[in-house]
Amino acid sequence: MVGFFYIRFRILNGIFNAYSIHHPNPMSRFFTFILISTLLFSCSREHTKDKVLFVTTNIDVMNGEPNGTYLIELAVPFGVFLKNGYDIDIVSPKGGLIPIYHVGDTTDLVKHTLVSQLYQEKTKNSQKPENVDSKEYKAVIIPGGYGQFWDTHKNDEILKIISEIHESGGVIGSIGHGTATLINVTSKSGEYLVKDKTMTCFPTWNEKNIMKQSNYGQLLPYDMEEELKKRGANLKIYDHQKKINYEIVDPHNRLVTAAFANSGEFVAKEVLKILNVNK
């Protein structure tokens, strides 16, 4: 960025000097200087992208099977932000290569994202929390994966980053089990971030009925639903019969949550809507 700015400066400065030789009038030179300064500033701004931060886990095994971040919960929203011109970073408790499982999804959006150089670079080189500057980001996206139950939710630096981005006007989006990361995030006042926020999460009834990998919830260190309720969340659980509370948008509190893995596109697009309204 500095190199780009310097090159522009040298070019425009040369134009100004050449103009000054042929137009010695002070007033004319003054307005020319103002015009060139404006052009220089606008050129530098054009190459600054808004940034979004993905929070992921380093846990790679659960119950003897591959685990980590669930592919579509990462790749789909990543692709949406990529298409919308955002710069993207990934953070994990330990940094480096992040484990991703269930790689068999082949939707067009997932395929497009997987071949992206940015996606490949960021998933191989996630940042450590101490290297993340929260002031750089407009939003946080938390994709699911069972690892979120063991590392991200108790990493103080990651929790602080999420809190700082939100308190500075940023938006949070979480998908499925990713919402587990939010249980211990607190604001500057010391209150839990989820307090009084309308939201949803992966349902306990679904965990107990069909999730074999977690031994139907018995391997998990806590019940996400119960922990969110204890912290004052206005929790809306997905009702299979009524087909409600599958996805929740709380625009006033800049929070978008979804119960299941296939809502990554919805979460990303709703986060973008809130960001566009708040510009």
Please state the φ and ψ torsions of residue 244, each to the nearest 5 degrees: -125, 160
Q: How confident is the model at residue 4 (pLDDT cuts 50, 70, 90)?
A: very low
The stretch 144-155 carries a mean pLDDT of: 95
Whole-number percent of the chain with pLDDT over 90: 78
Query: Is the model more confident about 23 or about 135?
Result: 135
In CATH, what number is assigned to the domain containing residue 115?
A: 3.40.50.880
Say if residue 132 is in the same domain as residue 31: no
Helix, coil or strand: residue 194: coil
Other CB atoms within a 10 A radius of the CB of residue 14 amount to 10
The stretch 189-206 carries a mean pLDDT of: 97
Residue 8, domain extent: 2-46
Rounded to an integer, what distance in angstroms lies between the CA atom of residue 127 and that of residue 122? 8
- CA separation (Å) from 203 to 124, 208, 224, 233? 31, 9, 8, 14
Mark which of 46, 64, 79 sits at the end of a domain. Answer: 46
β-pairing verdict for 61-62 and 198-199:
unpaired
The stretch 7-30 carries a mean pLDDT of: 56
Amino acid 166: pLDDT: 98
Whether the CB-CB separation of 70 and 142 falls below 8 Å is answered with no
Say if residue 66 is in the same domain as residue 132: yes
For 67-111, write each residue's pLDDT tens digit.
999 999 999 999 999 999 999 999 999 999 999 998 777 788 899
Whole-number percent of the chain with pLDDT over 70: 83
Say if residue 90 is in the same domain as residue 193: yes
Say if residue 215 is in the same domain as residue 92: yes
Amino acid 39: pLDDT: 53
Say if residue 22 is in the same domain as residue 57: no
Say if residue 63 is in the same domain as residue 42: no
Say if residue 98 is in the same domain as residue 140: yes
Element (H, E) at 68: none
Say if residue 140 is in the same domain as residue 199: yes
The stretch 141-147 carries a mean pLDDT of: 96
For the chain, give the mean pLDDT.
89
pLDDT surpasses 80 at 138: yes
Amino acid 131: pLDDT: 98
Rounded to an integer, what distance in angstroms lies between the CA atom of residue 91 and that of residue 166? 16
The stretch 226-249 carries a mean pLDDT of: 97
The stretch 234-249 carries a mean pLDDT of: 96
Say if residue 91 is in the same domain as residue 34: no
For 209-233, write each residue's pLDDT tens digit.
999 999 999 999 999 999 999 999 9
Say if residue 87 is in the same domain as residue 214: yes
The stretch 252-276 carries a mean pLDDT of: 97
Say if residue 36 is in the same domain as residue 65: no
Question: What DSSP designation does 128 have?
Answer: P
Say if residue 40 is in the same domain as residue 73: no
* Total domains present in the chain: 2
For 104-130, write each residue's pLDDT tens digit.
777 888 999 999 999 999 999 999 999
